[in-house]
Amino acid sequence: MLHKKLEEYNSAFEKIMEELEEPEMPEDPKSSAPSTTDETPKKSRGQYQKPTDKDIKKLLYLYFIRGLTIKKASKIVNMKQTTAGGYILKWRKSPVVFFIKNNKEATSDEKMNLLFETYSAIKKEYK
């Protein structure tokens, strides 16, 4: 009886080894790669995500109108400080920013509306 079980085990083992030696190749070589959407989980980009328009507007508001530093404004918006600095540098030489900083009579709401309207217009222009 033991001898019979050993023979069954050996034959099953040999079948498995043959399958391992000769793997089945798919007809289409490209189909062997796993699908990125179904089989592999997506990796998180970490703490910082690509900033949305809302984040950029909030950053510009905090820096130019409220007068916060780049470091503080970027923390509030949850944006890397270097990324926030890049957005602010793009806007720093804008005539709108010059008007906002030098116009003491305009309320912060007027300044904010002007900044956001300009941002939206520039965004549409480059699309």
Question: Is 43 within a domain?
Answer: no
Question: Is 60 within a domain?
Answer: yes
DSSP state of 48: -
Question: Is 47 within a domain?
Answer: no
Question: Is 4 within a domain?
Answer: no
Phi-psi region of 95 (alpha: psi -120 to 50; beta: other; left: phi over 0): alpha
* Residue-level pLDDT, tens digit, the chain, 127 residues: 777 777 887 787 777 777 666 656 656 655 555 555 545 555 555 666 778 888 888 888 888 888 889 999 999 998 889 999 988 888 877 777 777 777 777 777 787 788 777 777 766 655 5
Question: Is 75 within a domain?
Answer: yes
Question: Is 26 within a domain?
Answer: no
Phi-psi region of 46 (alpha: psi -120 to 50; beta: other; left: phi over 0): left
Token look-up 């989980």 returns 41
Cβ distance 66 to 42 under 8 Å? no
CA distances from 11 to 1, 21, 22, 24, 103 (A): 16, 15, 17, 20, 90
Tally of domains in the chain: 1
Structural domain for 72, as ranges: 53-125
101's CB contacts (< 8 A; 6+ apart) are: 64
Question: Is 12 within a domain?
Answer: no
